[in-house]
Amino acid sequence: MIVGYPFSAVVGHDDLKLALLLNAVSPAIGGVLVRGEKGTAKSTVVRSLAALLPEVAVVAGCRFSCDPAAPDPSCPDGPHESGLSPQTRPARLVELPVGASEDRVAGSLDLERALTEGVKAFEPGLLAAAHRGVLYVDEVNLLHDHLVDLLLDAAAMGVAHVEREGVSVRHAARFLLVGTMNPEEGELRPQLLDRFGLAVEVRASRDPAERAEVVRRRLAFDADPAGYTGAYAGGERDLALRIAAARDRLPAVTLPDDALRGITAVCAAFDVEGMRADLVMARTAVALAAWEGRDEVTPGDVRTAARLALPHRRRRDPFDDPGHGLDEERLEQALSEALSPDDDSGDDAPDDAPDDGPDDDGPGGGGASGGEPADAPPGEGGASAGGRRPESPGAPYRTRLLAPEAVGRGGPAGRRGRTTGESGRAVGARTPDGRLRRLDLPATLAAAAPHQRGRGRTGSGLVLRREDLREALREGRESNLVLFCVDASGSMAARTRMRAVKGAVLSLLLDAYQRRDKVGLVTFRGEEATVALPPTSSVELASGRLARLATGGRTPLAAGLRRAERVLAAERLRDPRRRPLLVVVTDGRHTSGPDPVVTARRLAGVASVVVDCEHGPVRLGLAGRLAAALGGTAIRLEELAADHLAAVVRDVRKVA
């Protein structure tokens, strides 16, 4: 028997535990997103919650966990007879792996049996398994966007739909959705952030005594899991009873008009888009009152609800960090003015407000001020790094699409390079290698039609066999690895020019964010090249490193290409399905090291684009020569903007 870590034994993380408990009381809040650095017990706290949830009564033999008191009328295993003896079981914690397919999540129809046997056979997915329990998604930021949308839709509506070739199945799917993520591995889109009811930032304690207590408890648990859990059995039982009591009290809790006005006033003060935040705050405040054993929402409930429901909804720009930089003082001031205008005592200020220290890895860390963080990679920072003080990037703009010309085969879903796979527009049909997933009905009928007489067809029905089945061959878009190789040497160091170059790279990073790419950053100047940022899904980190990038020194172009080659080779082993796109930002000059053309030829198999930064009345065309050696294309810096390309097209049409 596997023994889980007790919820009541977790040290600290008060906001996280409260957010989880409130969602356990009222799943209508919309779930919890837990953001935090690695090693902060995010998964431990979430997994320990399931043991506190009350047992559920289910219809015996129902794969969809129908409630005997109110069975789902659309249950695929129904209809269920009334008066059946209920079967009780513990609430489930269902974990969704990052690599799960849509069929694994939502369930799938056995189309082969449906066509050949006339049987509508449905195989339930993880949404059905999580019904009336907890659905836990670790590293939710690495999950494909369409799967995150699917999860959030089901969590919001309490219903899952599966449709395949005109056959539709619907079943109940009400669960507590919890997602955890490490922001260093990439952020969720603002639209998806807003769909999570509450969000909590988790950081490891900086108090040595508290850290020692965490280690002491974990070692004791590892030495004797059963004995350690038994010591907290009383606390766990009390929490479970309190959750059950709060659920019973929840329908009777009232939300006074002044509290509701306070909620809407706070959301308006923070310029929150849409109405979801208002609803989430109201539900959270009601659940908190029920949790505290009260029948009416108080101003303190609204304050706590705002602290949990608003911070992740303030994000406007894709490079904004939704986890750091929240002005707690402004939040408290807005809450105080909305709820108790005459109360200036500040007694309700939260004790656990995050410190205001700089975030080394945040998009603004080090910024244009020239300050260099302690953990900045070599080649970043101010004048002490041997180059000019960093120049801030210019304003980003919409760029033209840079993508591999060849069609990939089943790369990760995204919006850049073309690829064949399970999504996208149909471009053909093929015989399935194994289990049929995406039926191409016209191709299947066309394959079966010539054989009907030989198979003895006599009625109106079509005689189908396994070898007739065809699945659709689709072409969609994939996510790529965009590796930037940026020249930071003295030849690029004119301040206005480097500002334009950084603005161009920042614009490409924004484009990579929108197209769901991984990004990496290699810079070269002086005598060497540096990996400023290894390949990651966090374009926020890349933009921060770009802002801190200093310039000056000689131009080791060949060293930059060699470093890029090693990064791509390592990433090919780590993530072989993701095709790379190398973007070299340079004027083509080299004043240190061997001839870069020789090095470039070793990268000829990689899709490449050279952004030519050469300027002035006399152009040497060195970047074009480099692009030819790479087997890629060259575009001038000023041609990178999508508006420039549109203007060229308009001019050509006018001439024509």
> How many Å apart are CA 456 and CA 469, to the nearest integer?
19
Contacts 24+ apart (CB under 8 A), 352-357: 352/14, 352/15, 353/328, 354/201, 354/203, 354/324, 354/326, 354/328
**Contact 12/42 with Cβ under 8 angstroms?**
no
Looking only at the bridges linking them, the beta strands covering 159-164 and 481-487 are: unpaired
**Cis check: omega of the bond before 79, within 30 degrees of 0:** yes
Which residue do the tokens 């975030």 mark?
A: 359
CB within 8 A of 161, min separation 6: which ones? 106, 168, 169, 170
Residue 430 designated active-site? no
> How many Å apart are CA 559 and CA 487, to the nearest integer?
11
Per the DSSP assignment, residues forming a β-bridge with 531 are 522
Give whole-number Cα distances, 13 to 19, 36, 42, 197, 491, in Å: 10, 11, 9, 18, 50
E strand or H helix at 168, and its extent? Answer: strand 167-172
Instruction: For the chain, count helices (H), then strands (E).
Output: 21, 21
With H, G, I as helix, E, B as strand and everything else as coil, classify residue 98. coil
Give whole-number Cα distances, 578 to 96, 122, 318, 381, in Å: 22, 32, 23, 32
In angstroms, the first-to-last Cα distance of the chain is 77
CB burial of 433-450 (b: ≥16 within 10 Å; e: otherwise) equals eeebebbbeebbeebbee
35, 195, 276, 474: the active-site residue: 276
Which residue do the tokens 């369409």 mark?
A: 146
Q: What is the number of residues in the chain?
A: 656
CB within 8 A of 408, min separation 6: which ones? 417, 418, 419, 420, 478, 579
> How many Å apart are CA 8 and CA 336, to the nearest integer?
32
**Contact 493/500 with Cβ under 8 angstroms?**
no
Per the DSSP assignment, residues forming a β-bridge with 128 are none
> How many Å apart are CA 505 and CA 510, to the nearest integer?
9
Structure token pair of residue 192: 């998806």
Phi-psi category of 310—alpha, beta or left, where left has phi over 0 and alpha has psi -120 to 50? alpha
Please classify residue 632 by burial: count the beta carbons closer than 10 Å to its beta carbon, then call 0-12 exposed, 13-18 middle and 19+ buried.
buried
DSSP of 176-229, one letter per residue?
A: EEEEEE-GGG-PPPHHHHHHSSEEEEE-----HHHHHHHHHHHHHHHH-HHHHH
Q: Helices (DSSP H) in 81-176: which residue ranges?
A: 102-106, 111-116, 126-130, 145-157
CB within 8 A of 99, min separation 6: which ones? none
Give catalytic residues, as residue numbers.
Answer: 276
